Amino acid sequence: MARPTFDKTPQKPTFKPLSIEQENAIDLLIAGHTDQQVADAIGKDRTTVWGWRHEHPLFMATLARRRAEVWRAPQEKLRALLSKAVENLGAAVEAGDWKVSIEVLKAVGMYGDGTMNAIGEQDPERLLQAQAQAQLAHEGIPRDEHEVLGRLLETTAYRERLEEITTELRRMYLE
């Protein structure tokens, strides 16, 4: 009799599906509505919408993914014009136009902080882990035994509390 084989590949956790209100909230947020406008439209409090946007991993990831989808079509249109734009910019920079030079540096993130084009994290598991670690920091539990060594070693208390928080968050958001 053959022994059963078990796939040891870790499976991604299944998050509880978003509610109709949450799906509608995402549509409204993508359309440019404020938290208050979204809350009024779906019959929730503004703080609930804020909480979904800043604390609910699947909502945050879905919103980021849907925003990326919405932005993809205009980005593709712009990409079609990219060669001509680069030629024009190159000609202006070669001609010594310093204003265009600065704009090129800004466009590639080498001037200023370059965060304007950032898209949020799209993996709910990573967002969940970030929340758990932020909670540890908020609780003041040190990550390592020797702050002087640049936080290279995690403390037992940190690892244990991280696991507890992660478990609590999974109970809230996973099926």
State pLDDT tens for residues 102-129: 888 887 777 766 555 566 788 888 889 8
CA–centroid distance for 6 within its chain: 33
Task: Give a yes or no: residue 91 inside a domain.
Answer: no
In which residue ranges of the chain is pLDDT below 50?
A: 147-148, 150
Domain span holding position 35:
20-85
Task: Give a yes or no: residue 147 inside a domain.
Answer: yes
Residue 113: predicted pLDDT: 62
Task: Give a yes or no: residue 3 inside a domain.
Answer: no
Rounded CA separation 42/70 (Å): 22
Residue 55: predicted pLDDT: 93
Q: Which of the listed residues 33, 63, 85 is the one where a domain comes to its end? A: 85
Q: How far apart are the first and last CA of the chain?
A: 35
Q: Which residues contact 153 (CB under 8 A, 6 or more apart)?
A: 144, 145, 146
Task: Give a yes or no: residue 27 inside a domain.
Answer: yes
Residue 81 shares a structural domain with residue 129: no
Task: Give a yes or no: residue 11 inside a domain.
Answer: no
Q: How many domains does the chain have?
A: 2
Sign of CA dihedral 153, 156, 160, 165: negative
Residue 27 shares a structural domain with residue 78: yes
Residue 77: predicted pLDDT: 86
Task: Give a yes or no: residue 55 inside a domain.
Answer: yes
Rounded CA separation 125/83 (Å): 38
Q: What are the C-alpha distances in Å from 50 to residues 28, 34, 88, 140?
A: 13, 10, 43, 25
Task: Give a yes or no: residue 35 inside a domain.
Answer: yes
Residue 148: predicted pLDDT: 38
